Amino acid sequence: MELMKGRISLAPISPEKKWAALPIFLTSLIFFFVLLTSLNMGLLASLSALHAVLFSREAVETHPSSVFTVPAQASPPPPTAPSLGFGVPRFAYFISGSKGDLDQLWRTLHAIYHPRNIYLLHLDLESPRAERSELAGRVARHPLFSGNVHVIAKANMVTYLGPTMVANTLHASAILLKKSMEWDWFINLSASDYPLVTQDDLLFAFSKLPKNLSFVEHTSRLGWKEAERGKPMIVDPGLYKTTKSRVFWVWPKRELPSAFKLFTGSAWMVLSREFVEYSVWGWDNLPRILLMYYSNFVSSPEGYFHTLICNSPEFAATAVNHDLHHIAWDYPPKQHPHILSVNDTAKLIGSHAAFARKFRKDDQVLDFIDQKLLRRSKDGFAAGGWRSGDDGELKPGPGARRLMRLMDRVVRSEAFRKNQCV
């Protein structure tokens, strides 16, 4: 696929050899100075402790800010399970589905439930009224869900190729901003998505990140999309009709924009609260201008936020080029992604991703994920510190290690800046 090819073909930046020796020399000088000073002051309790702090993998992993700022002095590594409140984020989830998706959405909700988070559910206008009120009823009757799970009562008309999908996502994020001041990241899922890690794993991994990062997989190398997406114009009748009909194409085609640069990528994303506020409140005109531009764009969910973040100077540096999803495409790619099955378990785990799609309702592979990755119990909830009542401390498991490795690759590495808005 375009995205993949583009990323892999990036030539590595070769370091300037003659300068390479200087930092090493300086570092050694500073090291010996520190060593001498500590010996003088009798502070060097044990060389191995210093070594552990400076070089151990654990220490690197548990220092959230170590990539961004070099700590001035070695501090003891933080406890592995931080107490709640300190640095542990909250997520705002939006799970959206359509006709017949009720049970699948219900299962996904259980698998990603955590009392720290806030959830917003939506079954679009295509789903029968009975299905929508069944969802609202189930949430209202549930002893836990009535606190932090909300349902959009006034369902939206959503056309998957069209701008009504972006409107739906912005609508959800506006509701979530209004419902709670406390969440840190917005996560957009569909009923056919499923988690590959527990919420404790995810909360733990995100507690090590700056809260301003947004995970938006993107590229400006449009390839075939330049002719197929950038130039054609569509009208989405979902914007003004009460019954569903397909988007239609209008002529003449338009030119590529010159006022901003187009980006495209995955429609699945994890957005920082700051970026969501910027998108929804629109104190700068760009979010609004782009929204109007994208209302005639084919597959606007694969472009709106990507183009917005990369054309906003204050947010471009916060874009992480990954969607935290495992999505498999057939070769050659078809309109919809490959449906994941038990044959894909090795790839699912090897992806180190937080979520995957697309799954069939109650497929066997979901039972595998429940058992092996989420340790879900009979009541449907995944393993987590909050289940055992001991102060709700996070209990990150192997999933947190997988996520940390992914973060090492996409955030805490040169790839973070190198792949940003290019």
Ligand X SMILES: *[C@@H]1O[C@H](CO)[C@@H](O)[C@H](O)[C@H]1NC(C)=O
Positions touching ligand X (CB under 6 A) are: 68, 96, 165-166, 169, 188, 190, 210, 212, 267, 301, 305, 317-318, 341, 343
Q: Which residues contact 298 (CB under 8 A, 6 or more apart)?
A: 161, 228, 229, 232, 234, 247
Q: How far is the CB of 44 from ligand X (least distance, A)?
A: 31
Q: How far is the CB of 212 from ligand X (least distance, A)?
A: 4
Comparison of 356 and 383: residue with beta carbon closer to ligand X: 356
Q: How far is the CB of 252 from ligand X (least distance, A)?
A: 27
Comparison of 188 and 395: residue with beta carbon closer to ligand X: 188
Q: How far is the CB of 56 from ligand X (least distance, A)?
A: 23
Q: Which residues contact 192 (CB under 8 A, 6 or more apart)?
A: 101, 104, 357, 358, 359, 360, 361
Sign of the C-alpha dihedral, residues 363, 369, 371, 374? Answer: negative
Q: SS in 3 state form for the chain?
A: CHHHHHHHCCCCCCCCHHHHHHHHHHHHHHHHHHHHHHHHHCCCCCHHHHHHHHHCHHHHHHCCCCCCCCCCCCCCCCCCCCCCCCCCCCEEEEEEECCCCHHHHHHHHHHCCCCCCEEEEEECCCCCHHHHHHHHHHHHHCCCHHHHEEECCCCCCCCCCCHHHHHHHHHHHHHHHHHCCCCCEEEEEECCCEECCCHHHHHHHHCCCCCCCEEEEEECCCCCHHHHHHCCEEECHHHCCCCCCCCEEECCCCCCCCCCCCCEEEEEEEEEHHHHHHHHHCCCCHHHHHHHHHCCCCCHHHCHHHHHHHCCHHHHCCEECCCCEEECCCCCCCCCCCCECHHHHHHHHHCCCCEEECECCCCHHHHHHHHHHHCCCCCCCCCCHHHHCCCCCCCCCHHHHHHHHHHHHHCCCCHHHHCCCC
Comparison of 62 and 212: residue with beta carbon closer to ligand X: 212
Q: How far is the CB of 406 from ligand X (least distance, A)?
A: 19
Comparison of 190 and 419: residue with beta carbon closer to ligand X: 190
Q: How far is the CB of 387 from ligand X (least distance, A)?
A: 28
Q: How far is the CB of 87 from ligand X (least distance, A)?
A: 11
Comparison of 114 and 306: residue with beta carbon closer to ligand X: 306
Comparison of 161 and 196: residue with beta carbon closer to ligand X: 161
Q: How far is the CB of 69 from ligand X (least distance, A)?
A: 7
Comparison of 163 and 392: residue with beta carbon closer to ligand X: 163
Comparison of 89 and 392: residue with beta carbon closer to ligand X: 89
Comparison of 200 and 370: residue with beta carbon closer to ligand X: 370
Q: How far is the CB of 229 from ligand X (least distance, A)?
A: 14
